[in-house]
Chain A
Amino acid sequence: MADRLNALTSLGHSDPVTREIGPYRIVERFDIALASIACRRGRDKDFSKAAKGMVPLPDPAGSTQGAPYSSFWVAPDMWFVEAPFATNEDIAEELKRLFGDSASVTEQTDGWARFDLFAPDLAPLLERLCNVDFPHVEDGFASRTLVEHIGCYLIRRRQGEVTLYGPRSSAKSLLHAIETAAASVL
């Protein structure tokens, strides 16, 4: 067997980056495994049963933190499940085992770049990035949204913490958009 390949972050580095701009801290996350789960037609009961106590199934526009699995709603009957990469690198296989044929499971870990944003007040930054009414939505809110023409998922973890998932290939453009907006607020 050949040597293991080296992994690079979506920004092309060995290690994730952190940027500080004024009160804003932008933290690239490279330690999260991601998979989508979709309930198969007519299999709601089996699906919910399999998920119970293991994988949270939040309501539309919501997210739920858990261990090891957290998840957020993306579409009717579909969620993204997050887990620590270190312990759950094979998240898709795990979930396939868990849900059996009641769900369609798809590996998503490398489809997305993740940036966590921190600041006491993120509203001035986010109102320059997307149309989400950030001050108004509740903790746990999760939604797809557009950031400078890039389709992203935004999760409001709490008042001062937000997760943005953007397509991996656009990671540089997305980070640039966040940094530019942050500098613009200052």
Chain B
Amino acid sequence: MIIDHPILGPRDAQEFVYLGDASLMNRPDGLSDGIGAFHDYLYNRANPVGEHRELWYHEQGDRSWLVVTRNTLTHEITKVELARDVARASGRSR
């Protein structure tokens, strides 16, 4: 596969490491949220046929974590974003 890196352009997916569902960025707060919230966060994922947002890491590249929107059926990639930007936009900070 080819992932069109937002900074570096098209790069071979061989350079990346796959993590999983992009929902993994929505980590609950360990001090205010309980086991239930973390359980959902870590284990409950949709497993869609079709469009899927997922986290890829450019390990043999610039070490950016990316959110890749990929069709799990066709492998068509329709969107690639820097995970940092997505996280910030969703209000994650520190």
Which residue of chain B lies nearest to A73 when distances are taken between CB atoms in the complex? B62
Q: How far is the CB of B47 from chain A (nearest CB, A)?
A: 30
Stretch in B6-14, B34-42, B48-56 touching the partner: B6-14
B62 contacts A75, C-beta separation under 8 Å: yes
Determine the chain A residues whose CB is within 8 A of the CB of B60 once the complex forms.
144-146, 151
B62 contacts A146, C-beta separation under 8 Å: no
Q: How far is the CB of A148 from chain B (nearest CB, A)?
A: 12
In the assembly, what is the distance between CA of A151 and CA of B15, in Å?
10
Q: Is B64 an interface residue (CB 8 A)?
A: yes
Q: Is A109 an interface residue (CB 8 A)?
A: no
A131 contacts B12, C-beta separation under 8 Å: yes
In the assembly, what is the distance between CA of A14 and CA of B60, in Å?
31
Among B64-88, those with CB < 8 Å from A are 64, 82, 84
Q: From the candidates B8, B63, B64, B84, name the one contacting A143 in the complex (CB within 8 A).
A: B8
Which of A131, A143, A144, A146 counts the most chain B CB atoms within 10 A? A144
Q: From the candidates A61, A131, A146, name the one contacting B8 in the complex (CB within 8 A).
A: A61
Q: How far is the CB of B82 from chain A (nearest CB, A)?
A: 8
Interface string of A113-155 (1 = CB under 8 A from B): 0000000000000000001000000000001111000010000
Q: How far is the CB of A151 from chain B (nearest CB, A)?
A: 5
Among A22-52, those with CB < 8 Å from B are none
A76 contacts B64, C-beta separation under 8 Å: yes
Determine the chain B residues whose CB is within 8 A of the CB of A131 once the complex forms.
12, 14-15
Q: From the candidates B7, B12, B14, B59, name the one contacting A76 in the complex (CB within 8 A).
A: B7
Determine the chain B residues whose CB is within 8 A of the CB of A151 once the complex forms.
59-60
Among A140-180, those with CB < 8 Å from B are 143-146, 151
In the assembly, what is the distance between CA of A131 and CA of B8, in Å?
14
In the assembly, what is the distance between CA of A39 and CA of B84, in Å?
16
Q: Is B61 an interface residue (CB 8 A)?
A: yes
Q: Is A60 an interface residue (CB 8 A)?
A: yes
Interfacial residues, chain A to chain B (CB-CB below 8 A): 60-61, 73-76, 131, 143-146, 151
Instruction: Give 19 pairs: A residue, B residue, CB < 8 Å, sorted on A.
Output: A60-B7, A60-B62, A61-B7, A61-B9, A73-B62, A75-B63, A75-B64, A76-B7, A76-B62, A76-B64, A76-B82, A131-B14, A143-B8, A144-B62, A145-B15, A146-B14, A146-B15, A146-B60, A151-B59
- Rank and list the top 7 A-B pairs by shortest CB-CB distance, nearest first: A75-B62, A60-B7, A146-B60, A75-B63, A144-B61, A131-B12, A151-B60
